[in-house]
Amino acid sequence: MEDPTMVGTLAAQAEMIWPLERPLLESLGLPERGTVLDLCCGTGEVAGRIARAWPALTVLGIDLFEGHLGVARRAHAGVRNLSFAAGDARATGLPAGSQGAVLLRHVLHALPWPEAVLTEAQRVLRPGGLLYVLAEDYQGLFFDAEDAEHARLFVDVRPALLARGTDLFHGRTAFRQVRAAGFQDVRVHSLVLDPGTVERGTFARMLRYWRDGYDAFLAESLGVPPERVRARFDGLIAAAEDPERYVGWWIPVVAGRAPGPSHR
Ligand SMILES: C[S@@+](CC[C@H](N)C(=O)[O-])C[C@H]1O[C@@H](n2cnc3c(N)ncnc32)[C@H](O)[C@@H]1O
């Protein structure tokens, strides 16, 4: 069974990011035809948007979790150039060199072995194929919260999560990881979500899903009662909803090319 807070989080994030992301994918030369793999596709929010926007592409989403795949299949039933399959991002079973592009969104920070996933992405990409990593770095979340302690939530919890294999500061290391994996022409493109680019209400909705989905886990990690964590999230939500206060989220997208000649 899928977790409704994660389903809601992914929907709110795609709603905010896609208007910035589509022109970036266009400028990066997402192929017009052939195959694109959304690795760790979740509920298919962006695989579905790509399939609709690039109708001559064949888009495949792979995820480990059947609950998310079920949501994806229901949401995108009837989209002819889109399919979903269960699989492990470290060993997809897809033929080598079969993909024109591989997307990895909102996921590498949460995996203890991002290198293994990047190796698999490179294996399935054709030479010159596009790697697109939308990374997360929680120090890139800015909140003009009334209580400064609320704004430090993710920095405070990072050491405990690092011990569990999740790096909340992963975004800044993704450039190095993608280069170390052998990709070429690696560049970081910045997406900035803030009141100038997204609806405050959607930002706040995402934070509510984070609060409701992660309060117990973060509380345990910090060794505090869940109410303390919820109060800190509530401070962030209040800032997001206050038209006088700034909230922002810097999202690094690391793009590179599989070794070999480019076939853009
Ligand atoms: C935060 S969600 C991101 C979903 C999607 N990429 C998006 O941007 O909307 C992370 C997803 O990675 C999936 N995942 C985690 N480990 C995986 C693995 N080893 N292989 C495939 N999927 C995995 C989870 O099931 C989850 O759906």
Q: Which position has the higher pLDDT, 61 or 263?
A: 61
Q: Tens digit of pLDDT for each residue in 181-205?
A: 999 999 999 999 999 999 999 999 9
pTM across the whole model: 0.96
Ligand 1 centroid, distance to 42 Cα (angstroms): 5
Could you tell me the CA-to-CA distances from 131 to 38, 58, 256 in Å, in that order?
Answer: 10, 16, 5
* Nearest atom of ligand 1 to the alpha carbon of 45: 9
- What are φ and ψ of residue 60, in 5° steps? -120, 130
Nearest residue (by CA) to ligand 1, atom 10, is 107
Question: Quick one: what percent of the chain has pLDDT higher than 70?
Answer: 98
Degrees, nearest 5: CA angle 110-46-133: 45
Residue 72, ligand 1, Cβ within 6 A: no
Nearest-angstrom CA–CA distance, 217 and 37: 31
**pLDDT of 264 above 60:** no
> DSSP character for 111?
-
Contact predicate 180/115, CB 8 Å: yes
Query: Can you give the pLDDT at residue 2?
Result: 73
Residue 42, ligand 1, Cβ within 6 A: yes
Nearest residue (by CA) to ligand 1, atom 26, is 42
Residue 109, ligand 1, Cβ within 6 A: no
Ligand 1 centroid, distance to 115 Cα (angstroms): 15
Burial 43-78 (b: 16+ CB within 10 A, else e): bbbbbbbbbeebeebbbbbbbebeebbebbbeebee
